[in-house]
């Protein structure tokens, strides 16, 4: 039996405490009204935007000469009024973006850790259905990792409800004022409306949690059983879950991520999101396995198991890139305005995180994990694992931030604190769950094969 080391427990509590402080700071620091935004923008233009003021000045000159030609003072005042209105609108826009910022930071971290544990759950269900012989020694690690799912689901669901109650503007289609003036969103209102959306979310989360609960329960019951009936039961519910999962996963990705940019759509988005959290989940399994092994647990896990996990990290990283590129290239090539704006925003305003994610999630694991021997080295797995997890956090950041905070993004205190908070909560729930069951599912029919697995 595993015991949660006090050091790690304290560490997770510190993470949560620091995270909560940072999240609170983010919310307190967000501007309350337009005046604050005006001060903020003024301070900014004094700071480093000399170029912008210069352009404005020359622009004003040409305008005035134009006005002289027309010779109508009334035109100028109309212009001023329009400009003032535009300025007001801009301030309002920036205010909304800045008020969204702590929410978006919280949302990205929350959905990232929630989906990470879903990635583990999907991987675990695939192992069950494939009747894999190599992985049963890792089943309890996977079940431990999915123990975050109920915790994450509740927090996430509460955030979704708060979105519906207009605590924030993460989903602009939730705002009836926006829908009234937007034909495209109005056309989608039959699908994108709060009651249907929240009911879908509830069904998905409950369905996933039910599978997680019963699958772990059956796996434990199998330990004490005299036949393989619980194992067979798990096979059946895992197969059913995978069907349910792949449909709900796709819809989930439209509901919780793609609808943040409600004008834009991509048909392979579900797969893209799946690849992202699937590789994160597998990486988390590898990291926790390596950690437990270094603490002297999991005596039956050998380098071949680690090697196989690393192969999956490598393979699914490539798969993620394949989808990333497929989505990008078709839209780039077709160059249809309503589609391509998604990538133009990201390339112009999010250049570093957008391409940085590709480097961290593709180039880095490709070059490091390509070598067979490296896939067995603990320190390589840990290092690449951390880079992959940060890279996929960035990937979710890139999916969610442009539609919520626009060019006001920054990876500062609210963002980092949100990650720390959920990381702490994740570590606490996962390692607490790991103490509750023996780390070896001793009566799994494939357990002998798994113990002797060698590549």
Partner 1 sequence: MSNKVIYAIYNDDDILMDAVKQTRAAHHHIEEVFTPFPVHGLDKAMGLAPTRLAICSFIYGCIGISFATWMMNLIMIQDWPQDIGGKPSFSYIQNMPAFVPIMFEMTVFFAAHLMVITFYMRSRLWPFKEAENPDVRTTDDHFLMEVAINNNEEELVSFFQSTGAVEVKVIEKN
Q: Which residues bind partner 1 (CB under 8 A)?
A: 325, 328-329, 332-335, 370, 372, 454
Query: What's the closest the beta carbon of residue 348 comes to partner 1, in angstroms?
Result: 16
Within its chain, how far is the Cα of 217 from the centroid?
Answer: 28
Closest distance of CB 309 from partner 1, Å: 20
CB of 308 to partner 1, least distance (A): 15
Closest to partner 1 by CB, 213 or 325: 325
Euclidean distance between the first and the last CA atom of the chain, given in angstroms as a whole number: 27
What is each CA distance from 372 to 310, 360, 366, 377, 453, in whole angstroms?
9, 20, 12, 10, 17
Quote the least distance from Cβ 372 to partner 1, whole Å. 7
Q: How far is the CB of 454 from partner 1 (least distance, A)?
A: 8
| Residue whose CB is less far from partner 1, 193 or 304 | 304
> What does the DSSP 8-state code read for residue 33?
S
| Nearer to partner 1 (CB atom), residue 70 or residue 329 | 329
Are 134 and 308 a contacting pair, CB within 8 Å? yes
Which one, 357 or 433, has the nearer CB to partner 1?
357
| Burial (0-12, 13-18, 19+ Cβ within 10 Å), 141 | buried
**Which C-beta is closer to partner 1: that of 333 or that of 379?**
333
Task: Please spell the DSSP secondary structure of 328-363, one letter per residue.
Answer: HHHHHHH--HHHHHHHHHHHHHSHHHHHHHHIIIII
CB of 332 to partner 1, least distance (A): 5
What is the full DSSP assignment across 277-339?
HHHHHHHHHHHHHHHHHHTT--TT--HHHHHHHHHHHHHHHHHHHHHHHHHHHHHHHH--HHH
Between CA 71 and CA 75, with CA 72 as vertex, the angle to 5 degrees is 135
Based on CB atoms, which residue is closest to partner 1, 336 or 386?
336
To the nearest whole angstrom, how small is the minimum distance from the Cβ of residue 329 to partner 1? 5
Q: How far is the CB of 317 from partner 1 (least distance, A)?
A: 15
Task: Specify the residue, 85 or 367, whose C-beta has the smaller distance to partner 1.
Answer: 367
Reduced to 3 states, what is the DSSP secondary structure of residue 182?
coil
Distance CA 392, CA 354 (A): 11
DSSP state of 264: -
For partner 1, the closer of residues 97 and 361 by Cβ is 361
């Amino acid at each position: 039996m595993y015991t949660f080391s006090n050091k790690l427990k304290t560490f997770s509590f510190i993470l949560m405490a620091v995270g909560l402080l940072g999240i609170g700071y983010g919310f307190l620091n967000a501007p309350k009204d337009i005046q604050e935004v005006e001060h903020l923008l003024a301070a900014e233009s004094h700071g480093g935007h000399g170029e912008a003021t210069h352009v404005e000045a020359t622009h004003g000159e040409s305008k005035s000469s134009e006005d002289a030609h027309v010779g109508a003072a009334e035109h100028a005042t109309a212009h001023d009024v329009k400009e003032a209105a535009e300025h007001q609108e801009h301030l309002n826009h920036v205010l909304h973006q800045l008020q969204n910022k702590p929410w978006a930071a919280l949302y990205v971290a929350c959905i990232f850790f929630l989906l990470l544990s879903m990635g583990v759950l999907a991987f675990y269900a695939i192992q069950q259905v494939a009747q894999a012989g190599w992985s049963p020694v890792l089943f309890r690690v996977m079940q431990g990792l999915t123990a975050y799912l109920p915790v994450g689901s509740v927090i996430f669901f509460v955030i979704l409800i708060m979105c519906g109650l207009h605590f924030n503007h993460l989903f602009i289609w939730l705002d009836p004022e926006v829908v009234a003036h937007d034909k495209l969103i109005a056309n989608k209102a039959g699908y994108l409306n709060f009651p249907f959306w929240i009911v879908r979310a509830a069904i998905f989360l409950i369905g996933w949690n039910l599978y997680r609960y019963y699958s772990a329960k059956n796996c434990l019951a199998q330990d004490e059983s005299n036949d393989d009936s619980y194992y067979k039961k798990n096979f059946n519910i895992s197969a059913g879950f995978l069907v349910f999962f792949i449909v709900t996963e796709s819809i989930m990705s439209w509901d919780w991520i793609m609808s943040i940019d409600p004008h834009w759509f991509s048909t392979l988005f579900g797969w893209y999101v799946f690849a992202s959290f699937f590789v994160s989940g597998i990486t988390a399994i590898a990291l926790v396995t390596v950690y437990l092994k270094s603490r002297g647990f999991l005596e039956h896990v050998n380098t071949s198991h680690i090697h196989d996990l690393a192969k999956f990290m490598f393979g699914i990283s490539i798969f993620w890139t394949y989808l990333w590129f497929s989505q990008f290239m078709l839209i780039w090539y077709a160059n249809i305005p309503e589609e391509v704006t998604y990538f133009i925003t990201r390339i112009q305003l999010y250049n570093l995180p957008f391409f940085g994610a590709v480097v961290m999630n593709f180039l880095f694991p490709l070059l490091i994990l390509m070598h067979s021997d490296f896939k067995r080295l603990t320190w390589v797995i840990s290092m690449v694992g951390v880079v992959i997890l940060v890279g996929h956090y960035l990937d979710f950041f890139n999916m969610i931030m442009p539609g919520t905070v626009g060019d006001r993004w920054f990876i500062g205190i609210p963002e980092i604190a949100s990650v720390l908070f959920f990381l702490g909560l994740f570590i606490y729930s996962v390692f607490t769950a790991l103490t509750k069951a023996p780390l070896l599912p001793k009566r799994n029919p494939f357990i002998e094969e798994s113990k002797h697995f060698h590549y």
